Amino acid sequence: MKMIYKAGALLLLITLSFSQDITELLKEYKEASELYNQTRRDSLGHLILFTREDIERMQAHRLADLLKSIHFFTTADNRFGILTLNEYGGYSFIPKHIRLYINDHEVSSLHTGSPFLVWENLPLDSVDHVEVYLGVGAIELGNDPATLIIKVYTKEPSKENANSLRTTLTSRKGYAGVIYSARELNENFSYLFLISEGFDNRKDNWLGGQELSRDARYRYAYFGIYSENTSVEFGYGYIRKDPFMGFALDNVAEKGYTEAEDLYLTLTAHPSGDKSTKFVFSLDNHKRKHFESSSSGLYIPIFMDPFNPVNNPRDFYENAFFSKVTLYLSKEFSSQENKLLTAVSYKLYNSDIDSRYYITLGNVKQNVGATVPFNRQEIYSLIVEDKFSLSPSNLIIGGVKFDKYFRNGGFKDFSEFIARVGYISVINDNLSLKGFVSRSYIPPFFYDTEISGRDLDTVKIPFAFSAEGLLKLWNVKFGFGLGYVRIKDAIVPDNTGRLTNMEETITEKPIFINVENQLSENHKLQAGYSIFLDPDRKTSSTSGGYVRLLSTIGKFDAFGELIYRRGFEFSGRNVEDGYELNSGITYHVSDDLAIKLKGENLLGKAIETPYLVPQTGEVVTYPVRERTLYLSVEWVF
Residues 6+ apart with CB under 8 A from 590: none
Q: Furthest-apart CA pair in the chain: how many Å?
A: 119
SS (H, E, C) 257-289: EEEEEEEEEEEEECCCCCCCEEEEEEEEEEEEE
Q: How far, in Å, CA of 212 to CA of 206, rounded?
A: 6
Closest CA to 614 of 497, 470, 523: 497
Instruction: Using a pLDDT cut of 90, give the percent of the chain over it.
Output: 84
pLDDT of amino acid 135:
83
Label residue 142 by pLDDT band (50, 70, 90): low
Closest CA to 79 of 205, 175, 176, 172: 205
Q: Which element (helix H / strand E) includes 205?
A: strand 205-207
pLDDT of amino acid 496:
85
- Neighbour count for residue 424 (Cβ, 10 Å): 23
260 conformational bin, left if phi > 0, alpha if psi -120 to 50, beta if neither: beta
244 conformational bin, left if phi > 0, alpha if psi -120 to 50, beta if neither: left
pLDDT digits (tens, 9 = 90+) for 516-559: 999 999 999 999 999 999 999 999 999 999 999 999 999 999 99
Dihedral angle, C-alpha 285, 291, 296, 300, nearest 10 °: 30
Question: Is the Cβ–Cβ distance between 405 and 441 less than 8 Å?
Answer: no
Beta-sheet pairing, 376-391 with 338-360: antiparallel
Q: How far, in Å, CA of 20 to CA of 18, rounded?
A: 5
Q: Which residue did the predictor score with more confidence, 17 or 614?
A: 614
pLDDT of amino acid 140:
72
Cα 523 to chain center, whole Å? 27
Report CA torsion sign: 602, 606, 608, 609: negative
Q: Is 532 helix (H, G, I), strand (E, B) or coil?
A: strand
pLDDT of amino acid 18:
39
Q: Which residue did the predictor score with more confidence, 578 or 19?
A: 578
Q: How far, in Å, CA of 531 to CA of 436, rounded?
A: 19
pLDDT of amino acid 141:
67
Question: Is the Cβ–Cβ distance between 203 and 220 less than 8 Å?
Answer: no
Closest CA to 297 of 248, 229, 352: 248
Q: How far, in Å, CA of 533 to CA of 507, rounded?
A: 10
Q: What is residue 155's DSSP assignment?
A: P
Domain ranges for the chain, please list them.
7-636
pLDDT digits (tens, 9 = 90+) for 254-280: 999 999 999 999 999 999 888 899 999
Question: Is the Cβ–Cβ distance between 405 and 433 less than 8 Å?
Answer: no
Indicate the average pLDDT of the chain. 91
Give the type of residue at 400.
V
Residues 6+ apart with CB under 8 A from 306: none
3-state SS of the chain: helix, strand, coil percent to 5?
10, 55, 30
Question: Is the Cβ–Cβ distance between 69 and 63 less than 8 Å?
Answer: no
Question: Is the Cβ–Cβ distance between 483 and 464 less than 8 Å?
Answer: yes
pLDDT of amino acid 144:
73
Give the type of residue at 225.
I
pLDDT of amino acid 310:
96
Q: Is 248 helix (H, G, I), strand (E, B) or coil?
A: strand
> 197 has which bridge partners?
177, 219
Question: Residue 139: is its pLDDT beyond 80?
Answer: no
Cα 554 to chain center, whole Å? 34
pLDDT digits (tens, 9 = 90+) for 584-620: 999 999 999 999 999 999 999 999 999 999 889 999 9
Enter the CATH code of domain 7-636: 2.40.170.20
Closest CA to 206 of 244, 170, 165: 244
pLDDT of amino acid 93:
84
Q: How far, in Å, CA of 470 to CA of 190, rounded?
A: 38
Q: How far, in Å, CA of 545 to CA of 568, rounded?
A: 15
Length of the chain, please?
637
- Neighbour count for residue 464 (Cβ, 10 Å): 20
Question: Is the Cβ–Cβ distance between 441 and 410 less than 8 Å?
Answer: no
Mean pLDDT confidence for 32-57: 72
